Structure 1
Amino acid sequence: MRILGLDPPEKYRVLYQVYSICLNTTITFYYPLSMFINMFLLDKKKEVVSNLTLTISMVVCGMKTFNNYLKRKELWKIREYLVQLDSEVKFEVDKEYLEYMEKVSFRYFVLYASMYGLVIATCEFPMLFATESRLLYPAWFPWDWKKSSRTYVAIHSYQLIGIIIQIYQNLLNDTLPGILMWLLKGYLHVQEARIERIGYDENASDEENYNELVACVKSHKICSMCRLLVYRYAFLCQLNGCGELTNRPHTQIMRHGQLINCGIFRLSKAKTLLYAKSKVTNSMQKSNEMADETYHFTTALYQCNWMDQNLKFRKVLIIFMQHSQKPWTIFAGGVIGVTLSTWMTVLKSAYSLFAVLNRVA
């Protein structure tokens, strides 16, 4: 986030703020604005539809980045909570499980980084085979780039750098909610294993078992606070769904002459559809898995040796059970559940919109 101007360092804060303002003004703000202005200068209906879908995608990316800026303090708070949960892990098997979850999260990030990198490559490749000078995306600029080679190179470089920044913004926006939900699932699993061990240590007294249960309650509360913070980031998943509803019809560009019709471009079409569907599917899947993990939490409470404990222990256990029975389902905007069933509904709506725009085009 520091590269995007959203996480100022302790030193050189003034210089960093200047960098942040310049970057977000020229890329996050003006990049979709130039495409929006160009939309009013087009005559053909097909070109307007193609430009509109791309413009909406850029605007949604800017909205998600602005949302990250507004909630950057909450991200820092989540990081503090995760560090605190890490410090409470005592058993080696739990540490190995958390390391496994972190490795999966890193591979998940690397996978999508490679897919987004492929997007950058396939954006530039068609330009190499074009018979005439073309922009990466149709946009308005106050300079006539068709009559000046220097102007064209400058604008083309600006668009290339801009699309790299936009894709990097999307990479963070799209992977962050899924990674946080995946890590929460791991910490919940560790908490379940910790609770199941209570009461089976013959050397532990009743008071020590009670204190261990209270410590588990506090750790579960920290996980719950992390979940509430992640809950606010579910809005990003909702924006992803909106992007799928509007962005997929931009394949019309390939069919109506915005760029050249070649094998590389058809490959770009298939690749774009694949990564766009998979990124949202993973967010929905991580949300589903986190909710499934909470279903097993109450069972883990039954698995501890509560029968041999004192009355004080049992009272806390019963109250803990009552509070842990509700599954942790993420709701986008407080209304739409971030689940795989919701994603199927989004896919059906996206196909319906594509069919309508296909007939219009």
Structure 2
Amino acid sequence: MNKSKMFKIEIPDTYYQFGRLYHLLGIWSDADSLTWQERCRHLFYFFHFAGFMISLALGSFTTADKDESVFLAAVAIVCIVMVYRQRYILWQNRDILVSIEKIETSYTDDRNEFVEMSSTLNFFTKVVHGYLGSALSGTIPAVFLYPFFNEKRSLLFNIAFPLDRTKSEIGFWVAYLFVAGGVMWAVLCVLYTAKIWYIMVFFSVNYKTLGNQFKRLGMNRTDKPKKKVSIAEQHRHFQEDLKVAIQNYDRINSLLEVFGTDYSRLFFLQLLTGSISICGGIYGLAFSRHENMIMDGYNCAFLLYSVFDIFMIMYLGNEIKLASDQLSYCLFECNWMDQLTSGKKPIIILTERLKRSQELTVGKLYPLNLQTFTSVARAAYSMLNIVQNFRM
């Protein structure tokens, strides 16, 4: 395959900008191994964020306000997923970078296909930018401005904290920095989530590109008119193209399997907590006192995050399955009928392989698709009814 004459489909630069941010903050480095200072710093980051999660959970038990208790419990549960996600950022970034290098670029010799796939990636980038802009514009002001725009000068999260922040100026600022640091890590985890989405959408793009490759098996790519290409040469071109297509199919499947294995526990945690976080987001927005616009903005951002966090992996997992399901139809659009009997055998074998859908599953039970998201949404609705009864 002469790649110099082909169009290159690449992951948009937004994906790499997130990685550059981690490097800029000193979280990631290009070194093969971490120094002891970096190891200590990573441990500090981890225990600080885990402590933030625990303080939220304890705050939900110690507060006398039922609405605030539900709010803090929902945020603490979301932080469980984020703390687990932080583990990937701190200690598994090298494995992730190696994996993405194998799938970050796809090639095609069809300009229309290149334009279509590039448009898909560009549209997805706009969705990511819109989501991040909405979520962060509601979260950042709430954390950094809310303490100074309310009469009690209280923090956004009424966390359990050893220092008395209501009477001590030092205690207030220490608690403020503790919360601000926790929110900063939550933002970094949200950015990392978007990186996972990019990998998933590129898997579906790869399967779609492979489907178009199946359709064009054996097409004349020489400068000779089709009538001047011998039958034997046409069969040879078909077999060569088929061999390359099968290799690409095996490569994408193996990378998808590695990706699913690496992130199966994270996806499982998201599935377990998705209903609770959506329920908490709706509850917080519905039963908030609406006395402070900054707090209302945060509730909107939290609900947006709760829905998108589980919906996007289900939607993109569904897209991967649909793209892989289309491969068998694409294969039968090629000129396989005119091939020799020996050339049809690999087609028959490949067709049998294509009958098995390629999809991501969590816990070996729950597929990442829109049907699973519907189940999560229904569970969130049921939980909301229960919490409403608890509130009365």
TM-score scaled by length of structure 2? 0.80
Q: Give the count of matched residue pairs.
A: 356
How far, CA to CA, are the matches of 2:302 and 2:61 in structure 1? Answer: 26
Q: Confirm or deny that 1:54 pairs with 2:75.
A: yes
Question: 1:283 — aligned with what?
Answer: 313
How far, CA to CA, are the matches of 1:275 and 1:150 in structure 2? Answer: 32
Asked if 2 retains the 8 angstrom alpha-carbon contact of 1:6 and 1:72, the reply is no
Mark the CA change 1:92 to 1:46 in structure 2 (over 3 Å): closer, same or farther. closer
After superposing the two structures, state which structure 1 stretch, 181-190 or 214-223, moved more. Answer: 181-190
Question: 1:104 — aligned with what?
Answer: 123
Question: 2:99 — aligned with what?
Answer: 78
Query: SS in structure 1 opposite 2:326?
Result: helix
How far, CA to CA, are the matches of 1:114 and 1:172 in structure 2? Answer: 15
Question: 1:212 — aligned with what?
Answer: 241
Question: 1:186 — aligned with what?
Answer: 205
Mark the CA change 1:161 to 1:340 in structure 2 (over 3 Å): closer, same or farther. same
Question: 1:300 — aligned with what?
Answer: 330
Aligned pair partner of 2:186 in 148, 163, 166: 166
- Deviation per CA, 1:219-262: give whole Å up to 9, x if none: 011111122123232543443333332223266567888x8723
> Counterpart of 1:150 in structure 2: which amino acid?
I
How far, CA to CA, are the matches of 1:51 and 1:360 in structure 2? Answer: 15
How far, CA to CA, are the matches of 2:365 and 2:42 in structure 1? Answer: 34
Question: 1:334 — aligned with what?
Answer: 364
Aligned pair partner of 1:17 in 21, 36, 39: 39
* CA deviation after TM superposition for structure 1 residue 24, in Å: 1.9
Asked if 2 retains the 8 angstrom alpha-carbon contact of 1:116 and 1:171, the reply is no
How far, CA to CA, are the matches of 1:338 and 1:356 in structure 2? Answer: 27
- Deviation per CA, 1:302-349: give whole Å up to 9, x if none: 111112223332111111111012222321221112111211111111
> Counterpart of 1:215 in structure 2: which amino acid?
V
How far, CA to CA, are the matches of 1:352 and 1:341 in structure 2? Answer: 17
Q: Confirm or deny that 1:34 pairs with 2:64.
A: no
Asked if 1 retains the 8 angstrom alpha-carbon contact of 2:219 and 2:238, the reply is no
Mark the CA change 1:77 to 1:310 in structure 2 (over 3 Å): closer, same or farther. farther
> Counterpart of 1:9 in structure 2: which amino acid?
D
> Counterpart of 1:16 in structure 2: which amino acid?
E
Asked if 2 retains the 8 angstrom alpha-carbon contact of 1:192 and 1:301, the reply is yes
How far, CA to CA, are the matches of 1:73 and 1:313 in structure 2? Answer: 42
Asked if 1 retains the 8 angstrom alpha-carbon contact of 2:214 and 2:334, the reply is yes
Pairing of 1:92-171 with structure 2 (within 5 A): 92-118=111-137, 119-171=139-191
Mark the CA change 1:69 to 1:210 in structure 2 (over 3 Å): closer, same or farther. farther
* CA deviation after TM superposition for structure 1 residue 214, in Å: 0.5
After superposing the two structures, state which structure 1 stretch, 143-152 or 8-17, moved more. Answer: 8-17
How far, CA to CA, are the matches of 1:30 and 1:93 in structure 2? Answer: 52
How far, CA to CA, are the matches of 1:55 and 1:35 in structure 2? Answer: 5
How far, CA to CA, are the matches of 1:238 and 1:162 in structure 2? Answer: 23
How far, CA to CA, are the matches of 2:182 and 2:92 in structure 1? Answer: 24
Question: 2:9 — aligned with what?
Answer: none
Question: 2:3 — aligned with what?
Answer: none
TM-score scaled by length of structure 1? 0.86
Query: SS in structure 2 opposite 1:168?
Result: helix
How far, CA to CA, are the matches of 1:141 and 1:265 in structure 2? Answer: 21
Cα RMSD of the aligned pairs, angstroms, is 2.9
Pairing of 1:185-334 with structure 2 (within 5 A): 185-201=204-220, 202=226, 203=229, 204-232=233-261, 233-247=263-277, 248-249=279-280, 261-334=291-364
Mark the CA change 1:47 to 1:181 in structure 2 (over 3 Å): closer, same or farther. closer
Mark the CA change 1:19 to 1:244 in structure 2 (over 3 Å): closer, same or farther. same
How far, CA to CA, are the matches of 2:283 and 2:325 in structure 1? Answer: 44
- What runs of 5+ residues in structure 2 fail to find an aligned partner? 1-18, 221-225
Asked if 1 retains the 8 angstrom alpha-carbon contact of 2:264 and 2:362, the reply is yes
- Deviation per CA, 1:181-216: give whole Å up to 9, x if none: 211111111111122112231345422321111110
How far, CA to CA, are the matches of 2:89 and 2:312 in structure 1? Answer: 20
Of all paired residues, the percent bearing the same amino acid is: 15
Asked if 2 retains the 8 angstrom alpha-carbon contact of 1:98 and 1:186, the reply is yes
Aligned pair partner of 1:354 in 359, 379, 384: 384
Asked if 1 retains the 8 angstrom alpha-carbon contact of 2:328 and 2:351, the reply is yes
* CA deviation after TM superposition for structure 1 residue 163, in Å: 0.6
How far, CA to CA, are the matches of 1:270 and 1:166 in structure 2? Answer: 16
